[in-house]
Each structure stands twice: as structure tokens, then as C-alpha cells.
Amino acid sequence: MNKPLLFSVFLTIITWGIWYGYTSPDSLAIIDQNWPVTLTMVFGSFIAGATSEGGGAIAFPVFTKVLHMPPFDAKVFSLAIQSIGMMAATLTIVVMRVKVEWRIILWASLGGAIGVLIGSVFISPLLSAALVKMLFTSMVFSFALTLILLNWKQRFYNNNIPFFGGQEKLLILVAGFFGGTMTGLVGTGIDIICFSVMVLLFRLTEKVSTPTSVVLMAFNSWVGFALHVFVIGGFTSEVKDYWLAAIPVVVVGAPFGAYVCTRLNNQTIATILIGLIFIEFISSLYLIPLTDEIISISSMVFFLFLSIYYQFSVSKKYVVNVGREG
């Protein structure tokens, strides 16, 4: 048994042991009563580890659109469960010595911590649940369209950022802030926003950008989760039961997703991500009541991000011909 697999098994056994000791004698009852949550996170945790979309990107739309959970509860759950699953994936990534951009993680995390505070405390109470859902959909859909255009032609990519100065630090800090703000609204966002900057502007390969975004989302989830537990509130007994019902599967699914990601090529990772975003977009159009206000604001956000992403994709500043893919 190789070292990463041995570590994952050890981590799973330890987590299951702590979980069972805490939930016993109601362990099976918690899962039985909340099995839709457990089932959702079987898939959500794998996606969280394998792509730049955190588990919240699966949990939030499913819980709010299908299970009709209040958006606030879905957001708190997303942060709570990602703090377990994506941290397990992060530890696996470190043990496997998968290449990540720690400079991006550092500066984006600084901006993200401020953003998740602003999003959770000041912006979230001002927006309707339907608008919040559609804003997230608009943001990620604009990225998917840009990524499709980028993958139609021959691509140049880097294994690390070619140069890293004050301008790059500021850009990543700002991206982390906006991503953290979105995380404060829906429980995920910093991973996909920073992933878009890494892939479209810095031309980082998806095999580096994806694990980097996983580690980044894990840290941001801990900040958001702690904020709700100790300051804002919202980690109710009901959300806690959802969390406990999902822990046994995410501690397996997220590390497994991280492992699978190392076996995929850049094109496959991009295709999977685009497919997931299109599913998110179609489900939003079908399930969210689209008022004139939601349509107008979401459209503005969509075209704003589309413009930014397009400018990133046509920039040649970081094209250094380290690698080529087409």
C-alpha cells in the first residue's frame, strides 16, 4: 500500500472513529433521517476534490432547489461540510506532493477572509434567496463560456506563475476578496473565481489550478464556518444533523476526487467542469422564479464577468511557452 493511500485510510478510520464516538448510539438514525443529504454529498465531495467547484457548488443548488432547504441553512452546511471534506482532500494533496501554487493560496486567503466576512455579515441580509442563487449561476456560467472559447484553440500553459510581483499579489488579493464575498453568500465561490484567474490569465495548467483551488476553498471554508459558529450563528441543530450525516462520506469522497484529478489531463478536467456548470445553469433556469429584477441584475453580473474573463483569456502577458496543449 503506497503512502498516500495508507494516509487516506488512516484519516478515514480516525474520522469515522471520532464521528461514531460523538453520534453513538444515534449514528445510523442520523444518516437514516437525513439520507438525501448523505447521498448528495457522495457526489458533492468527489466533485469537490476533483474539480475547482467546492462541495457547496453541488450542495447549495441541490438543497435549495430540490430539497427546498432555506438558502442560509444550505450555505452554513456547505461551509461546515467543506471544512471537513476539502480539508481531508487538502491533506491528501500535501501527502501526495501534488503541485500547488502556495503564493496564490496565501494572498487569495487573505482577501478571502475579509470577503467572507463582508458577504456573510453585510451583503447576505440585503439579497433575496433567489437572487443569490442566480448571481452564483451567472458568475460560473460566464466562466464556462470563456473556458470553451479558450479550449477551441491551441493553448499555452504554465506550471507556475512566470513572475510574481506587487501587481500579481494585488490581483490575487482582489480575486480572493470577491471570491470570499461570494462564499459568504452561497458557501462557495473563492475556488472557482481564483481558478478562473489562474487558468485564463496566468495560463496555469488545470492540473495545478485545480488542487490549488481545493486547498484555497478548504481554508476559506474554515474561516466562514468559524464565523457562523462563534459570531453570526446559524449552525443550528438541524444543520448540525445534516453535517453529521455527511461527514462519513465526504472524508472518503473528497480525497478520492483529489486522487482522480491527478490522473486526468487538462482537457478532461476542463470538460468535466464545463459540463457541471451547464447543469447548474439549466437547473437554475428551470427551478428559480425569474422576476424582472433577478433577470436584469443577473444579466449585468453575467456580462460583467464575461467581459473580465474574456480580457483575461486574450491577455498575452503570462504566455511564456512553457507548455503547449491543443
Using CA atoms, how far apart are residues 247 and 253, in angstroms rounded to an integer?
Answer: 10
Q: Cell digits for 194?
A: 481564483
Q: Cell digits for 69?
A: 432547504
Residue written as cell 488512516? 10
What are the residue ranges of helices labelled H in the chain? Answer: 3-23, 27-33, 35-50, 55-61, 71-95, 102-118, 129-151, 166-186, 190-196, 206-227, 237-262, 266-287, 292-314
Mean pLDDT of 110-122: 95
Helix (H) or strand (E) holding 156: strand 155-157
Using CA atoms, how far apart are residues 34 and 276, in angstroms rounded to an integer?
Answer: 24
- Considering the entire predicted model, what is its pTM? 0.90
What average pLDDT does the structure give for the chain? 88
The answer, yes or no, to whether the previous bond of 36 is cis (omega within 30 of 0) is: no
Beta bridge partners of 323: 157
> Would you state the pLDDT for residue 252?
94
**How confident is residue 57, by pLDDT bands cut at 50, 70 and 90?**
low
- Angular region, 235: left φ>0, alpha ψ -120 to 50, beta rest: beta
Using CA atoms, how far apart are residues 278 and 168, in angstroms rounded to an integer?
Answer: 30
Lowest mean pLDDT of 12-26, 28-42, 55-69, 137-151, name the range.
55-69
Q: Cell digits for 40?
A: 448528495
Mean pLDDT of 170-175: 97
Residue written as cell 500579481? 168
Using CA atoms, how far apart are residues 78 and 117, in angstroms rounded to an integer?
Answer: 16
Nearest to 145 by CA among 274, 52, 325, 11: 274
Using CA atoms, how far apart are residues 128 and 219, in angstroms rounded to an integer?
Answer: 27
As a whole-number percent, the residues of the chain with pLDDT over 90 amount to: 52
Q: Cell digits for 315?
A: 491577455
Residue written as cell 427546498? 68
Query: Cβ(203)–Cβ(156) under 8 Å?
Result: yes
CA angle 69, 303, 201 (to 5 degrees): 100
> Would you state the pLDDT for residue 272?
85
Mean pLDDT of 280-292: 85
Mean pLDDT of 168-181: 96
**How confident is residue 122, by pLDDT bands cut at 50, 70 and 90?**
very high
**How confident is residue 55, by pLDDT bands cut at 50, 70 and 90?**
low
Lowest mean pLDDT of 18-32, 61-75, 93-107, name the range.
61-75
Chain segment 218-259, per-residue pLDDT in tens: 999 999 999 999 999 999 999 999 999 999 999 999 999 888
